[in-house]
Structure 1
């Protein structure tokens, strides 16, 4: 199963996330009890969970009512959380919730230029924030979403200005922007705050991969969580669950043009890049400046390896720059290497083949080059014929 969190229409807040997870199937009675239990350590709190209609869309609405909006330091909040226990809130759930709070605190620390131990949560009462984050964390794990591939779409941020402890601030709030660094997002479409820091912190910690459009998915269930504002459009957060026949992963592409590098250096660079973790390296003949013959070096890599591999390219080739195309989505099929027995004119040989599958369906079988080459040398059959025989006769039954 894959999950898509879609805040494109009306953004995301803590209570919207909890509402969407309730609508997806999380137990509302347990959630209410847990949210009030943890929130009561920080203030007077009451949680109401029910159904509501937002501009024609039926959604779940989580109303967290708190009369005590006191500020609390980040360190004190963690100390209190560590002293609370609940039978349904496992250490894993609590660890995730604390990670969300850390995201909030780090953003505030960077925005205001102070150390973490000086950070206070001003804009929402501690009880509200704890209820939303603990509730969302519990529902996230109760539904098993932590074990699924979770995609995130660009959140709508809103616009205008909001009142804060630091005066009137433009929307999105500085902390929200800090949390959403390197995440695609959209302004508008109204002069209200649509994405809150709490909602943004939950989003970035739940999502495995952000994309601008819906990934390939067979929709099985759609859930809606409502926000408090009544807008001219449905003020809802949408979560879609379903299956994806072809999984995707997130990669980056590195490129540079080379017109003064020898073949020996190019070959060595390819070896170095593959040794250091590149997924694939390609050298493409091209025409460079002043009609000089050159090469385009292209590297496919996991995004977290981009800086390391870019430095290798620069050091090995002397190029003055490496272009990075970040967060490219790659459709992939599951692959495994399987040993098989193949009959070569009465001679049985064990060779490995690469088997590609979509779900349980085998879509391609390819002979492993080194095994095919070894068989070709042993029995004196041309390599191209060995590969053809393996591909046609590999028995996976």
Structure 2
């Protein structure tokens, strides 16, 4: 969901106007932090560029690498985060301070903070604890911090502005944690899915497919739908576990038409069409009337010859104006013409972008309007 993430991530280095760069995750085999990194790297993310951003954490004792991986004839990338030792459990306040002091691009810091905040709130709900005193065990280690910050950094470096996801597979059975034996999906994972209103699918395998880290990344950053978009790259990030199918998370990068772009299609303005039929006024008066209508705020004024009942020739005067100028236009018509009434119809006026240029000719400079 995007409640904790900017609706439009426009500060990425590859952001464009007409199309929005998106990432759509296909977690048919679940998701974990290292699978997210592997998928992004396989889709074109530079490992060196990712390391450079992660150095801004000023966190010692980690190494990031990537290797080719494959299962069942499908190849991809496995991301490897190696740490020197296991760090003690960190609470939410410690991780928040770490991220706030880090020299990271603002979208990366905001994204990582949002993911960890979602994890803290889910853990607090599961354990009945104050969110400020929640201790992260598995997800508080250096490797998990690299996974989460790396996911936000990878999306940023790829210029992704919006994130989408399919329903993640969960798995079944039980797993061991710092608190003992817990069901699959882990309580924190289930809480994250519930808080986001995220869909999920079952997988007939005794294994944890969707980890709390993977769930936090997807439920915080992604909208759970598949939009119609133009695919530009696909990557597969492999996990460690061997399954009856390729144990990978796929990511599709692509371009989504930007509905907010002013250049995508001509703008349509809602206006009013005010009309009167006149058969008893000297035609010489129309020039002054039209001048005064434009002075009152008319966008356009035009005359149309018409034939009224009993074959009487007449003129239809049409005025296009904004709704905010209706009163002034009607008063101008009543005061400067012989009409007793005005018809009003709401219309849409579609217009293209236009600009003025000056062209030098043999007769002097001429101003032209271009579209």
User: 1:211-226 maps to which residues of 2 (within 5 A)?
Assistant: 211=225, 214-226=226-238
Cα distance in 2 between the residues matched to 1:120 and 1:39: 21
1:335–1:205 distance in 2 versus 1, CA, 3 Å: farther
Does the 8 Å CA contact 2:67/2:77 hold for their aligned counterparts? yes
CA shift for structure 1 position 186? 1.3
Are 1:152 and 2:169 an aligned pair?
no
Correspondences of 1:180-259 after superposition (within 5 Å):
180-181=193-194, 182-207=197-222, 209-211=223-225, 214-244=226-256
Distance 1:215 1:96, change over 3 A: closer
Partner in structure 1 of residue 74 of structure 2: 57
2:309 aligned residue: none
- Give me the whole-angstrom Cα distance separating, in 2, the residues matched to 1:8 and 1:395: 44
Q: Which residue number corresponds to residue 320 of structure 2?
A: 350
Separation in 1 of the partners of 2:48 and 2:351?
54
Give the distance between the partners of 1:23 and 1:125, measured in 2 at CA.
26
- 1:337 — aligned with what? 269
Q: 2:51 corresponds to which residue?
A: 32
Please state whether the residue corresponding to 1:10 is helix, strand or coil.
coil
C-alpha deviations, 1:187-233, integer Å up to 9, x for none?
A: 223211111111111112221x223xx33223232222222212221
In the superposition, relative to structure 1, how do residues 45 and 39 fare at CA in structure 2: closer, same or farther (>3 Å)? farther
Structure 1 match to 2:175: 162
Q: State yes or no: 1:13 paired with 2:28.
A: no
Superposed CA deviations along residues 15-61 of structure 1, whole A, max 9, x for unmatched, are 111122222322211223544774844xx333221222232222221
Task: Quote the Cα distance in structure 2 between the aligned partners of 1:395 and 1:218.
Answer: 28
TM-score normalised by L of structure 2: 0.65
Displacement of 1:335 after TM fit?
A: 6.3
The offset of 1:125, in angstroms, is 5.2
Q: Separation in 2 of the partners of 1:83 and 1:185? A: 36
Structure 2 equivalent of residue 77 of structure 1: 95
Corresponding position of 2:65: 48
Deviations 1:248-294 (A, max 9, x none): 9xxxxxxxxxxxxxxxxxxxxxxxxxxxxxxxxxxxxxxxxxxxxxx
Which stretches in structure 2 are left out of the alignment for 5+ residues? 1-19, 272-298, 305-315, 353-370
**CA–CA distance in 2 between the matches of 1:215 and 1:84?**
34
Gapped regions of structure 1 (runs ≥ 5):
249-332, 353-367
Cα deviations by residue, 1:60-113 (Å, 9 ceiling, x for unpaired): 21111235223222222223334443xxx2233222212211111111111000
Two-structure CA RMSD over aligned residues (Å): 3.5
Instruction: Say yes or no: does 1:141 pair with 2:159.
Output: no
Contact 2:189 2:211 in 1 (8 A): yes
Structure with the greater alpha carbon radius of gyration: 2
Residues 344 and 161 (structure 1), Cα distance of their counterparts in 2 relative to 1, 3 Å cut:
farther
- Number of corresponding residues: 283
Whether the aligned pair in 2 keeps the contact of 1:7 and 1:156 (CA below 8 Å) is: no
For 1:31 and 1:96, how far apart are their aligned partners in 2? 15
8 Å Cα contact 1:122/1:165 also seen in 2: yes
Question: Is contact 1:218-1:243 (8 Å) kept?
Answer: yes
Alignment check: 8 A CA contact 1:74 1:117 kept: yes
Task: Tell me by how many angstroms 1:122 deviates.
Answer: 1.3
Cα separation, partners in 2 of 1:35 and 1:190, compared to 1, 3 Å: farther
CA distance in 1: counterparts of 2:137 and 2:184, whole angstroms: 17
Distance 1:160 1:394 in 2: 59
